[in-house]
Amino acid sequence: MLANYLIGLREGLEAALIVTILIAYVVKINRRDVLPRIWLGVGLAVLLALSIGALLTYGTYGLSFTARETIGGVLSIAATGLVTWMVFWMLRTARDLKGHLQGNIDKHLVGAGLGLVLVAFLAVGREGIETALFLWAAVQATGATTMPLLGAFLGIVTAIGLGALIYAGMLKINLSKFFTYTGAILIVVAAGVLSYGVHDLQEAGILPGLNALAFNVSAAVPPDSWYGTLLKGTLNFSPATTWLEMFAWLAYAVPTLTLFITTSRRGRTSGRPAPAASYAPAPTPVAVR
């Protein structure tokens, strides 16, 4: 549940910040007439994410065991790739997220501002698709449904609340630090999802070594114990891990986390101050010519 709460919080806060910036900027330049276009794009993005989640959940019913395991393994690996791209993209973009989005607004702010539907849809939709895919992979890995979804829901609700406070100017968040810390944790979580994806492909017979265990600590960490469930739910830890699963975990986690930390430190020493998120609209609007 904790890992899924973090996923919901991080992805939800990214989406909330994007919506906050879009709304604050068009209010600032006195173009409230395009606000419905932004909300339309946001609504379509949420609908897309929910549709993908439903398709992933119910689309595999009736398939053979091998087909389900194959799809689960492939999508788990894809989810790992998406999360990896996301954490590095946000690590680079967090310092100038506001300028990046405002530049897109200026390009599409013509006439009725219909281009803003696309801006909001793409910006929020990316977060929604990543959330749906990664949550589905996490649910498949843990074998539970209620707790992961509850954790993600609570994370998204928290993110919406934080976004509202940021827009009202009541809260400031150091985006660089927030996305650095959560990014490092998500890399570890993604390593577990990747490892489980390898296990699925082993069960499907696509990858070998299903019975070649690197370790089996089921006696010390029973899968149905509270701490076994906690480790499974947060880190996708499996008490019985094959050599290929362990190799995949190490081959991903060690270099990716090292590169992430190195890139983060390089950004902190670049001389640019880390921004705090606060996007309340300016009191005096600027007219658009």
The one-digit pLDDT tens for each residue of the chain (289 residues) are 666 787 788 888 888 888 888 888 888 888 788 888 889 999 999 999 889 888 887 777 778 889 988 988 998 898 899 889 888 888 777 666 677 677 777 777 665 556 778 888 888 888 888 888 877 777 776 666 566 677 788 888 898 888 888 888 777 777 778 888 888 888 988 898 899 899 999 999 999 988 899 988 988 888 777 677 667 766 777 888 999 999 999 999 999 999 999 988 886 665 555 555 555 544 444 333 3
Does residue 289 sit within a domain?
no
Write out the two tokens for 114: 């219909």
Q: For position 60, what pLDDT does the model report? A: 73
Does residue 211 sit within a domain?
yes
Angle, in degrees to the nearest 10, between helices 115-142 and 65-93: 130
Residue that the structure tokens 């990543």 belong to? 130
Q: What's the total number of domains in the chain?
A: 1
Task: Identify the CA nearest to 6 among candidates 187, 144, 143, 175.
Answer: 187
What is the C-alpha to C-alpha distance for residues 209 and 213, in angstroms, rounded to an integer? 8
- Domain range for 43 is 2-277
Does residue 249 sit within a domain?
yes
Task: Identify the CA nearest to 131 among candidates 10, 264, 277, 247.
Answer: 10
**H-run or E-run covering 206:** none
What is the C-alpha to C-alpha distance for residues 72 and 140, in angstroms, rounded to an integer? 7
Q: Which residues pair with 240 in a beta bridge?
A: 216
The distance from CA 109 to its chain's CA centroid, rounded to whole angstroms, is: 28
Write out the two tokens for 90: 């946000």
The model's pTM is: 0.75
The DSSP secondary-structure symbol of 143 reads S
Does residue 286 sit within a domain?
no
Does residue 212 sit within a domain?
yes
By the 10 Å C-beta count (0-12 exposed, 13-18 middle, 19+ buried), 231 is classed as middle
Does residue 285 sit within a domain?
no
Please say whether the beta carbons of 202 and 208 come within 8 A: yes
Does residue 284 sit within a domain?
no
The distance from CA 81 to its chain's CA centroid, rounded to whole angstroms, is: 11
Does residue 288 sit within a domain?
no
Residue type, position 58, single letter: Y
What is the C-alpha to C-alpha distance for residues 215 and 138, in angstroms, rounded to an integer? 22
The DSSP secondary-structure symbol of 32 reads G
Task: Identify the CA nearest to 201 among candidates 123, 154, 258, 140.
Answer: 140
